[in-house]
Amino acid sequence: MASPTKNGNPPAQIPKSIKFLFGGTAGMAATLFVQPLDLVKNRMQLSGEGGAKRQYKTSFHALRSIIANEGLFAVYTGLSAGLFRQATYTTTRLGIYTSLFEYATRDGKNPSFTMKALIGCTAGGIGAFVGTPAEISLIRMTADGRVPLAERRGYKNVFNAIYRISNEEGVATLWRGCWPTVARAMVVNAAQLASYSQAKEILKNTGYFAEGLFLHFCASMVSGLITTFFSMPVDIAKTRVQNMKVIDGKPEYKGAIDVVVKVMRNEGMFSLWKGFTPYYARLGPHTVLTFIFLEQMNKNYKKLVLHDESSGGGGL
């Protein structure tokens, strides 16, 4: 239950449809800034696949190579898929999370950390299922430039990718790697959304942080670091399953567990965290920007539309 206003009445709540809209819009706005890092992360995770020589030594080497070999604007390859992913996945997960968070708030007291994590898991899993077609399109489009021209898939945009995948490989292929995608999203959202809410509470309780951009920034960076560590092994499994080709009816991997086993055996255990720098460099700012955009949209909607002058974005 929300805290009462000055006149004793409970404040009006942001409609659920608006929460979903703000969630997707915030994610899409953040993607415009971090798409190059997503590209580098995916290329790093696919480097060394199948026992081949690693194409990139470091994240900076990958970025330099991509620009040198494919051109400056190649760093935004797959942007349409990245935006569509946010429009589907992030709209769903943040909309569900903020709605469930509000429902679980009682007498002005926020849910426990365990409840936040459970809500995050639920929101992330549902969002990931909805966003898998965009996810697989993004993985393939960002990976295309690493192979010879004759072997590239050459998708023009996300809608062309979805059409061709469903037409050439079957509609079910759009959900290939769905379960590792869902598992990753549950880990990411349990860690990201719960740790963001918890970090924000802890920082505010120190007395050194007031509600505002700096608090959102610090809470987001803490959340991004925790999320990166726990989600990377699942993410590399997801990336390779969704990028794999089926040759003569035989897929490169049997599933996510097969990816993890082969990576550990052929590339070493720490390869499960390959691309940690671009992953965090992408996830950290993306988390920061998404939550900042979301908080500001919520805050301004409450102020301008609901005429609620209380501080805070409300909902996270």
pLDDT above 50 for 107: yes
Q: Residue 281's pLDDT is what?
A: 75
pTM over 0.85: no
Each residue's pLDDT tens digit, 120-142: 899 989 999 999 999 999 999 99
Answer whether residue 1 shows pLDDT above 50.
no
User: What are the tens digits of pLDDT across the range 197-225?
Assistant: 888 889 999 988 888 778 888 888 888 88
DSSP track, the chain: -PPP-TTSSPPPPPPHHHHHHHHHHHHHHHHHHHHHHHHHHHHHHHTTGGGPPPS-SSHHHHHHHHHHHH-GGGGGTTHHHHHHHIIIIIHHHHHHHHHHHHHH-BTTBPPPHHHHHHHHHHHHHHHHHHHHHHHHHHHHHHHGGGS-GGG-----SHHHHHHHHHHHH-GGGGGTTHHHHHHHHHHHHHHHHHHHHHHHHHHHHTTS--SSHHHHHHHHHHHHHHHHHHHHHHHHHHHHHHH--EETTEES-SSHHHHHHHHHHHH-GGGGGTTHHHHHHHHHHHHHHHHHHHHHHHHHHHHHTS----SS-S--
Give the CATH superfamily of 16-304. Answer: Mitochondrial carrier domain (1.50.40.10)
Question: Model confidence at 43, in pLDDT bands (50, 70, 90)?
Answer: confident
pLDDT at residue 6, rounded to an integer: 53
Work out the mean pLDDT of the chain and round it to a whole number. 84
Query: What are the extents of the domains in the chain?
Result: 16-304
